[in-house]
Amino acid sequence: MNLLFAVNDGFVDQMLTVVYSILQNSQPDWVRVYVIQEQPLEQTEKIEQFCQNKQVEYVPLVVTGNEFADAKVTGRYPQTIYYRLLAHKYLPETLDKILYLDADLLCINDITPLYETNLDGYLYAACSHSGLTNVTDVVNKVRLGNEEADAYYNSGVLLMNLTEIRRRVDPKDIFAFIENNKFNLLLPDQDILNGLYGHEILALPDELWNFDARKNHLYEARSMGEWDLNWIISHTGILHFCGRDKPWKTGYFGRYAALYRHYAHQALKFWEEPVVEAASLSEEGQS
């Protein structure tokens, strides 16, 4: 199972929690984790020790170019979010498939069926939350000029057909779309994905592979009460903590807060923070 992340040092713990949750609930023969990063992560030792303990191969992909220098960047949407769009440039050409995951996820059941999805004829497979917000879905398709797309897809879980992407995704098209829509991008990388390639994405059920953890009551209403907490725990593969409120932050009390914190604790308990020598602390205190 090839997994792809694009994180900075602020999301290393969350990424390791995602990987741990996958290992606990899926049984792949092997796992290889590729991490796109702008410079070598300061927490590389932590990642390597985790992967060694879990028999996971870690492959850092340090991006040396500056392809997205002019793309829209904010505190919430750093430049790293664009890298999934050009992942095929950084990954080995021998790979034909990879699963990109945001770091604000939790995998609570086997995701092997997701990874083994047949992508023939498609660039990507992804989930839309359009069943929850149909009006917003239509507006997004019109806003981005791709009314051929079946829906507006969330880019946080993205199964990539790398063979087809290398053939059909042109970086020049991405840069041109950014330039032509730079004042119209609300969720920048996700908007680009949908605007250019929304019609070439295989739709997957979000209640299984990209459950929006904010909207339990909407899922229950959509399923006439079937997709309750018991159903989710038994069937949903991926919980996605979309939005600004995150389960690792103080003050988060969502339905799955305890579940997330349990996985995070188990994933990270191997790591002991380096002890700072007393002399160093004393010197710092006098400065």
Residue 77 pLDDT more than 70?
no
Is the model's pTM score more than 0.75? yes
Q: At what angle do helices 12-25 and 44-54 cross, to 10 degrees?
A: 10
How many angstroms separate the CA atoms of 241 and 70, rounded? Answer: 28
Q: What domains does the chain contain, in order, with CATH numbers?
A: 2-286 (3.90.550.10)
Q: Does residue 128 sit in helix, strand or coil?
A: strand
CA distances from 186 to 21, 91, 143, 170, 204 (A): 30, 28, 10, 22, 23
Render pLDDT for 137-186 as a digit per residue (tens, 0 to 9).
555 554 445 455 568 999 999 999 999 999 999 988 988 888 888 777 78
The 201-204 sheet, strands edge to edge:
57-62, 32-37, 2-6, 97-101, 153-161, 124-128, 201-204
242-266: pLDDT as tens digits? 999 999 999 999 999 999 999 999 9
Residue 236 pLDDT class (50, 70, 90 cuts): very high
